[in-house]
Amino acid sequence: MDNRFPNKILLGLQEGDCNLSCPKCYTHGENAPTDKNRPVETMPFESFLKLCNEMAPFRPRVTPQTWDEPLLTPNLFRYLKAMKDHHLVVTMDTNGVLLNRNNRKALLDLKIDSIFVSIDATTRETYEKVRGKDTFKLVCENVEKLISERGESELPRIGVSFVIEEENSHEEEDFVAYWKNKVDVIRVNKVFSPLRRVEGVKHEESRDTCWSLNDSMMIHPTGKVSLCCVDTHEEVEIGNAFESGIAQLWRHGKFEEVRQLHENKEFSKVSICENCNLWSNDLPVKESDDEYVTVRTDTHYYINRRDRINSAPKTNRYLK
């Protein structure tokens, strides 16, 4: 029996709005491949509940945003509560601007599984260059308060994120040193170019079926499905999850067709895959010492505090 299902679902509860303007962003940035004037769209709650019912038995990790800011979603906590009531594993990325007292309390009370806050800098000047606005101090304070208000509870797992680009690469080391003892995990990754490429990929010759095709699905507020997380402007026609259901789209049709093309190494037959090298976010190499478990791929590294490792989602594909 075919009971395949995505391990991770990026669920665009609301798209088209953000309170920052990071130049690198695929949807709000200066080189965004996505139309910047697209309307703000929110996922209807009834359609969302239908997806929750379908997801619940499989317990995928669900990220309540795609390439937008989740804390701007109207009634976000109603959606998040429904996800937790369906026993889904909820892992959120936020820019942290709206991590105010009320929102922190709601996230802590719901025991969201993980929250990554994107900071990308250790100074106000650099932050403004890479995040587009002067909210460095506010965001850092919000993270520190979230950590202290969570205390020793296992959840939520709290992480900070740093995307390396030309303007901030000199702060990477200080960033890691500053946050290493404070958060549970630090994520550092190379910036993706608008062509879906990162520099310095070592395994360019040994390209294989992309891990994402058997791992993740991205669903937009209209129910439309993208091939992967960098198919932000829905170039590949997959179908609609509200109409066909997630499992049907995952196991048949375009997803299967693209998997087959990848198996045959016919990458150029899929427009968005042709020049992409983000498939290299695979083949993790793990290093451990008494304090940290570090996982590295060609595109990312994660530094996990050993004493907080039990809070990592069990389906984390690097720590399994």
Ligand X SMILES: C[S@@+](CC[C@H](N)C(=O)[O-])C[C@H]1O[C@@H](n2cnc3c(N)ncnc32)[C@H](O)[C@@H]1O
CB of 131 to ligand X, least distance (A): 8
Q: Which of 69, 298 has the CB closer to ligand X?
A: 69
Question: Is residue 65 a contact point for ligand X (CB under 6 A)?
Answer: yes
Place of tokens 């037959």: 269
Please state whether 72 falls in left (phi above 0), alpha (psi between -120 and 50) or beta: alpha
Question: Is residue 130 a contact point for ligand SF4 (CB under 6 A)?
Answer: no
The window from 39-47, 63-71, 151-159, 280-288 that contacts ligand X (CB under 6 A) reads 63-71
Distance between CA atoms of residues 231 and 5, nearest Å = 19
Give the residue from 75, 30, 64, 10 showing the smallest Cα distance to 215. Answer: 10
| CA 266 distance to own-chain centroid | 27
Question: Is residue 138 a contact point for ligand SF4 (CB under 6 A)?
Answer: no
Task: Output the CA angle 285-176-308, nearest 5 degrees.
Answer: 70
Distance between CA atoms of residues 277 and 299, nearest Å = 9
Q: Which residues contact 84 (CB under 8 A, 6 or more apart)?
A: 90, 110, 111, 112
Question: Is residue 230 a contact point for ligand SF4 (CB under 6 A)?
Answer: no
Q: Which of 175, 242 has the CB closer to ligand SF4?
A: 175
State yes or no: cis peptide before 156, omega within 30 of 0.
yes
Q: Which of 28, 150 has the CB closer to ligand SF4?
A: 28
Q: Which of 126, 135, 161, 281 binds ligand X (CB under 6 A)?
A: 161
Q: Which of ligand X, ligand SF4, none does 272 bind, CB closer than 5 to 8 A by kind?
A: none
Question: Is residue 168 a contact point for ligand X (CB under 6 A)?
Answer: no
Q: 115 φ, ψ to 5°? A: -130, 120
Distance between CA atoms of residues 63 and 93, nearest Å = 8
CB of 255 to ligand SF4, least distance (A): 26
Token couple for 61? 């990790």
Q: Which of ligand X, ligand SF4, none does 48 bind, CB closer than 5 to 8 A by kind?
A: none
Q: Pattern of binders to ligand X over 4-33, x per CB under 6 A?
A: ------------------x-xxx-------
Residues 101-120 that bind ligand X (CB under 6 A): 118
| CA 37 distance to own-chain centroid | 23
Residues 19-58 that bind ligand SF4 (CB under 6 A): 20-22, 25, 28
- How crowded is the C-beta side of 108, counted as CA atoms within 13 Å? 17
Q: How many residues bind ligand SF4 (CB under 6 A)?
A: 10
What is the distance in angstroms between the CA of the first residue and the CA of the last residue of the chain? 25
CB of 13 to ligand X, least distance (A): 12
Question: Is residue 232 a contact point for ligand X (CB under 6 A)?
Answer: no
Q: Which of ligand SF4, ligand X, none does 281 bind, CB closer than 5 to 8 A by kind?
A: none
Contacts with ligand X, residue ranges (CB under 6 A):
22, 24-26, 65, 67, 69, 93-95, 118, 161, 163, 189, 191-192
